[in-house]
Amino acid sequence: MAAKKKIFVLDTSVLLHDHQAITSFDKHDVAIPITVLEELDKFKIGNDTKNFCAREVIRFMDKLSGQQSLQDWIALGKNKGKFMVVLSGEPTNNDAEKIYAQGKNDHKIINAALFLKETHPNTVVTLVTKDINLRIKAKALGLLAEDYETGKVAQDKIDQASLIQIDSVSSEVIQSLFSKGKVDENGVLGAQKMANGYYIL
């Protein structure tokens, strides 16, 4: 029996975490609620990682669409699914805005996923978000919801013996890690530097 087709609905937190997330779901389809596009627009100015991600996602969608409408399913490439922007967000059954509160973007995003679930009854629709509260609200309305795991290394897969603690790291290095999400090694790891190593700074 063939596996059921899936649609993954991505929220803003996922795209600000990984600007390549749209292409990370193999052969399955990916949908972005229009509310997420509006939120990305607010994040596109600035020099933080999230601002870079917002700009990259917007550029990607513009290039992907070409002369096509983003309201139609657009192929993401070989061995990939399709992509679209969901404009409508008014499910006929459960309505997050009526149940929780009107006007909140989170509830509009849930509604977009619920709308897809109603209009694609033979497809598994899942909301993907880094926001745990949004996942709980979605699940309470009967919607599948999960964290975005791509790029995350499960702790149980890391050999604890391979974790190396590096002491006396300068505050500037730590601050750069938090503000930029990365830092040039520049000898920080010393003689303990190795390929694919895991370090506690």
Q: How high is the pLDDT of residue 163? A: 67
Q: Domain locations in the chain?
A: 6-146, 155-200
The tokens describing 121, both together, are 């009854």
Architecture label for domain 6-146:
3-Layer(aba) Sandwich (3.40)
DSSP for residue 162: G
Task: Indicate the pTM of the whole model.
Answer: 0.73
How would you write the pLDDT of the chain (201 residues) with one tens digit per residue?
A: 456 789 999 999 999 999 999 999 989 999 999 999 999 999 999 888 889 999 999 999 999 888 788 888 999 988 899 999 998 778 888 889 999 988 899 999 999 999 999 999 999 999 999 999 999 999 999 999 999 986 444 444 445 545 677 888 888 888 887 777 778 888 888 888 877 677 778
Q: Which two tokens stand for residue 22?
A: 């749209």
| Residue 188, both tokens | 């920080």
d(CA 1, CA 21): 28
Distance CA 19, CA 80 (A): 17
CB 110 within 8 A of CB 54: no
Alpha-carbon separation of residue 103 from 111, 114, 189 (angstroms):
12, 16, 49
Tokens 């694919």 — which residue?
A: 196
